[in-house]
Amino acid sequence: MKRIGALLLASLIAASAAAQTVKIGVVNTFSGPNASFGELGDKAMKLYMKLHANELPAGVKLELVTRDDGGPNPDKAKQLAQELIVRDKVSLVTGAVFTPNALAIAPLATEAKIPFLVINAGTSVVTTRSPYIVRDSFTLWQSSYPLGQWAAKKYKRAYTLVSDYGPGHDAEAAFTEAFKAAGGQLVGSVRVPLQNPDFAPYMQRVKDAKPDALMVFIPAGKTATSVMKTFADLGLASAGVHLIGPGDITTDEELPNMGDVALGVMTVFHYSAAADRPANKRFVEAWKKEYGANSTPNFAAVAAWDGMAMIYTAIREQKGKLDPERTLDIFKHWKNPDSPRGPIAIDPETRDIVQNEYLREVRKVNGQLANVEIETVAQALKDPWKELKKGK
Ligand code: PHB
């Protein structure tokens, strides 16, 4: 009798657990020139869920409620996040490719007291806008500061060209500060419109200034290919200008569309699909098995992948019942010594990502363009903006 009772109890518990679904709201960019973020982020999340399905507590299901913000569009992003929180009652919100979108969602996370896991938006200030934000992606200061230090060893005169908004301003400031401090001379800087820029007139100006190097930041995606093509068409490469930047300008999935003009471009970044770390080889192999040999993950995919690993940890540790404060605490102390991008951790003080930065060169590997990692230029790097400006 006792035994039957215990069995009954166990099956009742199982039944209630079976009804348990954790809803995650995703606001990502699935349309426009930067649609690769949404596509690759979604693929990464789904692949993680498929490969780790048996790691959820018994009976717990995970449901992604996914929305397209269409690009840099804060009003739309805010409205979508609001609906996800109020109507769909998601346990947390993730996504945010563009900084203005992340900034628009930040106060909602604070008000609703729900964690907001930023898997792209890279302006340093983002994480300071809500105590509920945790970012697992990158900051532009993380890539552009070491890039400036490296560039000063190779080039005397540099020019900067950036998209005229948060991450562009950060890339410009970080590069300039590091480049000048190491003895480089900045001969010019220009900011271009975020949406649909025609790069030709700006590139002409750069060419006339005859710098040794041009540092570019634009949001990754098709825009990167357009930069590359204009750079070549206007003869900057043949005039001896070296194109450098954070890895957004040589984003892995666009390399096949860029063609040989990308060869030799040097970047600093935290992720390359060509990296030969075993964890990355396993990741890329699983990706290609699932999505085909011609599909390549990029940094947005790896941020979504690691983000899903964080979400799985929070679900496991709370047995499927997510408490916002506990989830936030788990995120803040999360680390993985073996991400496809190398060792990573969240800094509990700033809720920002700590990771390595690699110097890479676009080279041909087995006939295909790849970001080949040459050197680790920074290890376990915290956001330099926060480190340098602390308390100011
Ligand atoms: C951003 O808006 O923060 C952003 C967008 C695209 C990138 C990097 C940063 O490639």
Q: Whose CA is nearest to atom 3 of ligand 1?
A: 121
Query: Which segments of the chain does DSSP mark as H helices, in order?
Result: 2-18, 36-51, 74-86, 99-112, 140-154, 166-181, 200-209, 222-233, 255-258, 278-291, 299-317, 324-332, 384-389
Please choose from 27, 28, 69, 98 the residue to mutate so as to test ligand 1's pocket, defined by most ligand atoms within 8 A of CB.
98
- From ligand 1's centre to the CA of 56, what distance in Å? 31
Q: How many CA atoms lie within 13 A of 239 on its CB side?
A: 20
Q: Are 252 and 195 in contact (CB under 8 A)?
A: no
Q: Which domains does the chain have, with CATH numbers?
A: 2-138+278-348 (3.40.50.2300), 141-269+356-389 (3.40.50.2300)
- Among 329, 330, 331, 337, CA closest to 356: 337
| Ligand 1 pocket member 297 (CB < 6 A) | no
Q: Which pLDDT belongs to residue 390?
A: 57
In sequence order, what DSSP letters do the residues of 89-142 get, joined into one string? --SEEEE--SHHHHHHHHHHHHHHT--EEESS---GGGGGG-TTEEE-S--HHH
Q: Are 224 and 252 in contact (CB under 8 A)?
A: no
Could you report the per-residue pLDDT of 277-335, keeping only the tens digit for each? Answer: 999 999 999 999 999 999 999 999 999 999 999 999 999 999 999 999 999 999 999 99
- Among 181, 141, 174, CA closest to 383: 141
Supply the angle between the helices 299-317 and 278-291 in degrees, to the nearest 10: 100
Bridge partners, 246 (sequence order): 268
Q: Which pLDDT belongs to residue 389?
A: 80
End-to-end CA separation in angstroms for the chain: 69
Angstrom distance (rounded) from CA 332 to CA 239: 48
Q: Looking at the predicted structure, is the pLDDT value of residue 341 above 70?
A: yes
- From ligand 1's centre to the CA of 309, what distance in Å? 22
Ramachandran bin of 315, using left for φ above 0, alpha for ψ from -120 to 50, beta for the remaining angles: alpha
Rounded to an integer, the average pLDDT of 354-382 is 98
Q: Are 140 and 122 in contact (CB under 8 A)?
A: yes
Ramachandran bin of 378, using left for φ above 0, alpha for ψ from -120 to 50, beta for the remaining angles: beta
Q: Looking at the predicted structure, is the pLDDT value of residue 199 above 60?
A: yes
pTM value is: 0.94
Angstrom distance (rounded) from CA 307 to CA 254: 23
| Ligand 1 pocket member 247 (CB < 6 A) | no
- From ligand 1's centre to the CA of 320, what distance in Å? 32
Q: Looking at the predicted structure, is the pLDDT value of residue 370 above 70?
A: yes
- From ligand 1's centre to the CA of 163, what distance in Å? 10
Exposure string of 239-263, with b = 16+ CB inside 10 Å and e = fewer, is: eebbbbbbbbbbbbbbbeebeebbe
Q: Looking at the predicted structure, is the pLDDT value of residue 19 above 70?
A: no
Q: Which pLDDT belongs to residue 101?
A: 98
CA angle 378, 381, 386 (to 5 degrees): 130
Q: Which pLDDT belongs to residue 6?
A: 61
